[in-house]
Every structure is written in C-alpha cells, then in structure tokens.
A and B are shown apart, each in its own frame.
Chain A
Amino acid sequence: MSLYGYIFVMALTTYLIRVLPLTLFRKPIRSRFLRSFLYYVPYACLTAMTVPAIFFTTENWISGAAALAVGIGLAYCGKSLLTVALSCSAAVLVLEKILTVLE
C-alpha cells in the first residue's frame, strides 16, 4: 500500500461519513444506545490515543509524564486549548534540557 493510497482511503472514508447523512440518509437516529455511544466516542478515542502513547513519544518517558500532568492540571483549571497545548510542549522542552544536563 503506497503512502498516497493510504491518504486516499483515509480521506474518502472520512468524507463518506460526513456526506452520506447530509445527502442520502437524513433520518434522525432514534436508538438511544447508538446516540449515547456516539456521544462517548470522542472522549474514549482521544484518551486511548493519548495514554499511554504520550510516554513513548518523547525522548524520555519522564518528560511525557510531565506533559500529561501539566496538561491535565491546566485543562482542569479551565485554561484554553492553545495554552494547554503550548504548556505541554514547553514542559517537554524544559524537562528534556534538565535531563540532558543531569546525564
């Protein structure tokens, strides 16, 4: 499978999910279970993507853990998306510098 083949399949699947309910299947979803399921999907999927992957992305798992802690702390205090994202990034930079010096 070539890189561009993957990208095509990704884009097509994503577009079909968006376009079909706007064109062909326009009936509202009655099933309460299905609507609840779709409601929880983003939270479950974003979490599954972040943990434990965040520990393995950075040079050292400690800086990944720090980014996670900083992110959760700031988001809990209601800081904006950009502040949280940049602070996570800064936490990694600072900790990786410190860890290099300690080595």
Chain B
Amino acid sequence: MNFKEYRCGVQRGLPVGLGYFSVSFGFGAMAVAQGVDVWAATLISGSNLTSAGQFAGLTLIVAAAGLWEMVLTMLVINSRYALMSLALSQRMGERIGLLPRLAVAFFNTDEIFALAMSRQEPLTVPFLMGLGTLPFFGWTGGTLCGALAGSVLPGDMGSALGVMLYGMFIAIVVPPAKKQKPVLAAVALAMVCSCIVRLLPALDRISIVLCTVAAAGVCAALFPIPEEEESV
C-alpha cells in the first residue's frame, strides 16, 4: 500500500466529504420522516452511496413497491454510472487488476468520478481508495446525524430539513439548464410528464422511471450530444 498516494487521495476527497455530509443530512431527516428507522437509513447510505437513486428507492420502500419496480428504477436512475465506470476503466489502464476494480467501483459517484478524471498523474489504487474514504464517511455519517436530528426535532423542522434534498437537486439541474437549451428541454419535459403522471395513481410508483425515460429519450432523439473525442 502506497501511503503517500492514499493520503493524496484523502486530501482531494475532503471537500466532497464535507459537501456530502451536509446533503445526506437532508436524506437522513427525510428517511425518518417517512418512517424508516435511523439504522436502516444509515445502512441505505452506507451501501448505496448515491443521492438520486437512494431517494427514489426510499419512495418505493415507503410505497411497498415490488422488487422489479425497485430494480428497474435503480437501473434507469443509476444508468449514468455505467458510463462513468467505462470512462474510469479506460483511464485506469490495464495494469490495475480485478480485485482493486471491485473495490473502486463501489465509490464511483458523480463527484468522485470527476475528481479521479481530473487528476494529471496516472491513477493508482491507493489514490482512488483515498479519494472515496472521506466522501463515504461524510455521506454515511451525515445520514446518521440527519436521521437522529429528524427523530428528535418537531415535525415542521423535519420537513424543512427534508427539503434540503430537493434544494440539492435544484442546484444540480439549474446551472446546466441555464446554459444548454437541450437540458432545459429535458427538464421541462420531465416536469410536465411528472405532473401528468401524478394525476394517474396507477402509474405512481414507476412515475420517475417513466418520466426519466420519456424526457431523456425525446431529447436524445431531438438533440444528440456532439461526437466526443476518443479520450473520454
């Protein structure tokens, strides 16, 4: 184990870890508000390490949805990770073996992926593991603290904390929607679709999957992204 590389990764991951802590606080508060206990909420974060997927999963758990609805929802919402793992795989090169890959895959979130890809030096396993360390503890610890806070605070405080999660989603979506018309189109379509589906209770549990596939599908057909350079 190359300790210097590991430490370098940990340092790079610090800001992401802090950010995750505050955001997952909202997830923890929302989970207990919906009736999931503190330990289960913490376990969800510790085993999934993804914001949107967990949040959709929580909704399905509360709705007592079927197994296939859960699998389908995770597949669609987390599909982007497949693309990131492919890119990371190419960046890591052939010399990194199977076992480290199994570990690195677990930590491949949007932010950790971005940090890994932006590194100038070659990627090493200790560096990648270091990168994931603080975000993992931040995300899991934040959920634990948020869930604890949510279970002791009065109801209106709890709902205010839960809204933090929506705030985070808004903060992720608005800036690219402002700059890129196709993203704005995807957002508008998803919004309209989601409001319509809300009126059809039969589709309620697969509403996120349905709206995601519809909006992303229409926009992919109308506004295909530019051909990328081979390196990505």
Question: Hey, which bits of chain A sit against chain B, CB under 8 A?
Answer: 1, 3-4, 6-11, 13-15, 17-23, 25-29, 32-54, 57-59, 64, 67-68, 71-72, 74-76, 78-82, 84-93, 96
Contacts and interface: CB of A to CB of B under 8 A. Distances in A.
B77 interface: yes
A1 B62 CA distance: 11
B183 A43 contact: yes
B176 A13 contact: no
A21 B92 CA distance: 12
A34 to B, nearest CB: 8
Interface in B88-120: 88-90, 92, 98, 101-102, 104-106, 108, 110
Contact of B90 (A26, A58, A87, A92): A26
A9 B67 contact: yes
Contacts of A42: 52, 80, 110, 172
Contacts of A25: 86
Contacts of B156: 59, 93, 96
A36 B193 contact: no
Contacts of A93: 156-157, 160
Size bracket of the B interface: 35 or more
Contacts of A17: 74-75, 78-79, 81-82, 85
Residue picked from B43, B78, B155, B191, most chain A C-beta under 10 Å = B78
Contact of A6 (B57, B160, B186, B194): B57
B129 to A, nearest CB: 14
A75 B166 contact: no
A75 B175 contact: yes
B38 to A, nearest CB: 12
Given A18-B106, A81-B168, A92 B40 contact: no
Contact of A52 (B61, B171, B194, B214): B194
A27 B83 CA distance: 11
Given A20-B82, A23-B102, A38-B83, 18 more contacts: A6-B60, A7-B44, A9-B70, A10-B74, A13-B75, A14-B74, A17-B75, A22-B89, A26-B86, A39-B225, A45-B212, A49-B56, A67-B166, A72-B170, A81-B19, A85-B26, A91-B163, A93-B156
B164 A46 contact: no
A98 to B, nearest CB: 12
A50 B187 CA distance: 11
B190 interface: yes
